Structure 1
């Protein structure tokens, strides 16, 4: 299977598509950026809106790679999802397409058990988190088995088709 790439390395190598399926209602609440937002520190929050991830998205989409993200969320949304929603406009401006799917509209979809990146229909990078939303010790799992890639790509496509574009999703 080879060495497990980071999400950055995976996207840097993408040729046509990079799809991200997110299914948790909270991630990395220990992140200083989230903590700044949670305590209402607008200056700290806004200072972090321009971040290296966006440079990567601009570079990848600039060479024609389609970068899409679906966030499957419980409603009413968690504070963490409110934070993500507040940061999403900067991702969209950088070239990422993002949609939101209320969890109740995903009940009949076959979804993988973990969040993942699906790249070029050839590889999946699963992310493993603890129950508290922090990265697990074995945080990443890289898979190229065609059956698993197909399952994840099919799940992403089904979620994408039902999801609401960021500009239209109100929390």
Structure 2
């Protein structure tokens, strides 16, 4: 599934923004299950948490792509969001700017109905999930549509401004 994002990110030259709005994703993920059983990442043991996605982030940010990830979440947070919070430090270390926005602070915002990415203000990669957070048939949809990207970014930027940077956010 991540192939579409990786391909578009490899082409990005200036920016890549990611919007996540679900309170859980793929609850059968072995890493999430291990976390539920007590596994925690050791920030001092980089080799234990570095993964191929982080190489993609380092490559993109190294060539000047500004990467932002915004997570719109319900509070109190679900176990899955607490897991995401716990495993976000590698994303930050690789160069992503991550922020958290409690859903209770979005009442006056109009947000897109789907998670997704916008690359360089012109390509939108929409994520299709089932109700229980699994990838839906088709998974990701790539649209080369500057007008859609513009609308998506307008909503994203308003939400981004009121979100809390990862270093300052504490899950409720």
Common topology (TM > 0.5): yes
TM-score, with structure 1 as normaliser:
0.92
Please list every run of 5 or more consecutive structure 1 residues that lacks an aligned counterpart in the other structure: none
| TM-aligned CA distance change 1:122 to 1:93, over 3 Å | same
2:93 is equivalent to residue 102 of structure 1:
no
| TM-aligned CA distance change 1:48 to 1:132, over 3 Å | farther
- Tell me how far apart the structure 1 counterparts of residues 41 and 124 of structure 2 sit (CA, whole Å): 36
CA apart distance, 1:145: 2.5
| TM-aligned CA distance change 1:40 to 1:72, over 3 Å | same
TM-score, with structure 2 as normaliser:
0.92
Equivalent residue runs for 1:1-171 within 5 Å? 6-42=4-40, 49-171=49-171
Contact 2:72–2:101 (8 Å) recurs in 1: yes
Could you report, residue by residue, the CA deviation over 1:110-162 in whole angstroms, capped at 9, with x for unpaired residues? 11110010000011000000111011112111122232111101111111111
Contact 2:122–2:147 (8 Å) recurs in 1: no
Please list every run of 5 or more consecutive structure 2 residues that lacks an aligned counterpart in the other structure: none
Could you report, residue by residue, the CA deviation over 1:65-107 in whole angstroms, capped at 9, with x for unpaired residues? 0000000000000000000000111100100000000001111
> 2:155 aligns to what SS in structure 1?
helix
Measured on the aligned residues, the alpha-carbon RMSD in Å equals 1.6
